[in-house]
């Protein structure tokens, strides 16, 4: 197996140019660099870390699905993948590289109605909700950011002045960190950054695995406001 070697400074430049010229002509002319230095290194990273964390590597397509989009740009401006079914995050450990930098994290991105119901019930519980609040606070002190979409007000059935209203309003909850890729990212720094971030997020992800879990609804019935 090819080991992760890091991301060269050329990766940052490649994404900047892709944003400026998101065309099939540009992508075809620089396809070899993408295959070797971008997607190839991302796949090597996730495959190598799968030996440590377990799980299955899933690398997403660079092509955008433009069938129902007004934006007809053919390519995504980031390259990303996940480790699914790991020991510390059943729903996935995430890594993405783009001109904005390297983004790493984990959490629950899904918004199944059943997931939201279980999440809100657990957050409202004085024992489980207090535990989550403390875990999120510790993750933030460790340098992680809290990500995810939130409602503009309290969800139906919950008071606006609930002591954990910020968590109750969330429709998804993830934690992670971002680092610059402008000067490149070495193998050692890259592995250290990803491992540290995933492990720092693990207590919150473990809480979500225990109290929320995966949706069991059919795809066309997942979502709820």
Share of the chain above pLDDT 90, in %: 84
pLDDT of res. 91:
84
Angle between helices 40-53 and 187-211 (to 10 degrees): 60
Please report the pLDDT score of residue 87 as a whole number. Answer: 85
Please state which of the four CATH numbers 3.40.980.10, 3.40.50.620, 3.40.50.1000, 3.30.930.20 is assigned to the domain occupying 6-221: 3.30.930.20
Specify the 3-state DSSP secondary structure of 106.
Answer: strand
Find out whether 200 and 88 touch, Cβ atoms under 8 Å: no
- Most confident of the following: 1-5, 180-184, 211-215: 180-184
pTM score: 0.90
**What's the whole-number average pLDDT of the chain?**
93
Residue spans of the domains in the chain: they are: 6-221
- Look at residue 173 and tell me whether its pLDDT is greater than 50: yes
Per-residue model confidence (pLDDT) at position 219: 61
Inform me whether the pLDDT recorded for 7 exceeds 60. yes
Percentage of residues of the chain with pLDDT beyond 70: 96
Residue 162 pLDDT exceeds 70:
yes
**β pairing state of 145-147 and 185-186:** unpaired
Q: How confident is the model at residue 24 (pLDDT cuts 50, 70, 90)?
A: very high
């Amino acid at each position: 197996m090819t080991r992760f070697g890091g991301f060269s400074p050329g990766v940052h430049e490649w994404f900047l140019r892709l944003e400026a010229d998101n065309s099939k002509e540009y992508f075809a002319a620089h396809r070899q660099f993408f295959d070797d230095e971008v997607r190839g290194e991302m796949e090597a990273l996730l495959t190598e870390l799968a030996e440590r964390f377990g799980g299955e590597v899933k690398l997403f397509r660079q092509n955008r699905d433009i069938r129902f989009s007004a934006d007809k740009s053919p390519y995504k401006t980031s390259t990303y993948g996940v480790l699914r079914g790991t020991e510390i995050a059943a729903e996935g450990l995430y890594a993405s590289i783009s001109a904005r930098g390297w983004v790493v994290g984990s959490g629950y991105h899904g918004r199944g109605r059943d997931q939201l119901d279980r999440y809100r019930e657990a957050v409202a519980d004085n024992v489980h909700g207090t535990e989550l609040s403390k875990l999120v606070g510790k993750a933030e002190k460790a340098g992680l950011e809290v990500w995810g979409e939130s409602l503009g007000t309290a969800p139906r059935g919950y008071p606006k002045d609930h002591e954990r209203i910020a968590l109750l309003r969330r429709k998804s909850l993830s934690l992670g960190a971002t680092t610059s890729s402008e000067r490149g990212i070495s193998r050692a720094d890259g592995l250290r950054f990803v491992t540290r971030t995933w492990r720092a997020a693990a207590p919150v992800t473990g809480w979500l695995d225990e109290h929320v879990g995966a949706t069991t609804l059919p795809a066309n019935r997942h979502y709820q406001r």
